[in-house]
Chains A and B, each alone.
Chain A
Amino acid sequence: RKEVEQDPGPFNVPEGATVAFNCTYSNSASQSFFWYRQDCRKEPKLLMSVYSSGNEDGRFTAQLNRASQYISLLIRDSKLSDSATYLCVVNPGGYNKLIFGAGTRLAVHP
């Protein structure tokens, strides 16, 4: 079983749609959690950190459920520019090694 598992996608949605991505992780001792965005043939970039209390950044909302070992990302009012691969990322603790999921591809169409 992979340490971080995500919906494989792809998700094809029209502009303005709301889309949700899910992710589970296997190491219950994991310390910190993130969503990264990766555009085609580019490096991953931090989208947002994820906290148990839930956090929001504009149209993006992330949620962590430690009991279920589940992480989510909600994107509201999708834009064409949101088209990318979204990587669920977990830090198991210690020195900041990151464990990535395989990513979920999102394609937003007009």
Chain B
Amino acid sequence: GAGVSQSPRYKVAKRGQDVALRCDPISGHVSLFWYQQALGQGPEFLTYFQNEAQLDKSGLPSDRFFAERPEGSVSTLKIQRTQQEDSAVYLCASSSSRGYEETQYFGPGTRLLVL
């Protein structure tokens, strides 16, 4: 079956531009996560959705970052007024339930470069 998909795969933005990154989780998956991976580092948690509810946004680095999942399936991560330090790979992951033993399946990521 189809895995997690993300679009665009690559995004180049000028500093100050707004960007929107899309995640299509595996169909029926309840939990959806966004992570940010800087070069040479492991992924870092940004935010978590259970269905349409955003239950944890403690990892969002600033109020320029906003995520939504209005119908409990597709999610969008929006970054306003992008800065160079926002350059990273943004990974989306989904899992079938909220249990801590559930495997998270990652999408291929969106590589964002802010010039």
Contact = CB atoms under 8 A, between A and B. Distances in A.
B33 A97 contact: yes
B102 interface: yes
A26 to B, nearest CB: 15
Interface residues of B, number: 27
Contact of B107 (A43, A87, A89, A100): A43
Contact of A95 (B93, B100, B103, B107): B100
B44 A100 contact: yes
Contact of A99 (B40, B45, B56, B102): B45
B55 to A, nearest CB: 7
Contacts of A100: 35, 42-44
Interface string A88-110: 01010111111111110000000
A50 to B, nearest CB: 12
Interface string B82-113: 00000000010101001111111011110000
A101 B42 contact: yes
A102 B33 contact: no
Interface in B1-51: 31, 33, 35, 40-45, 48, 50
A4, A96, A98, A99 interface centre (most CB from chain B within 10 Å):
A96
A32 B100 CA distance: 7
A31 B66 CA distance: 29
Given A43-B91, A43-B108, A43-B109, A94 B100 contact: yes
A49 B102 CA distance: 10
Given A42-B108, A43-B106, A45-B106, A97 B56 contact: yes
A98 B37 CA distance: 13
A96 B106 contact: no
Given A42-B108, A43-B108, A95 B55 contact: yes
A47 B54 CA distance: 28
A44 B100 contact: no
B45 to A, nearest CB: 5
Contacts of A32: 100-101
A98 B109 contact: no
A93 B101 CA distance: 9
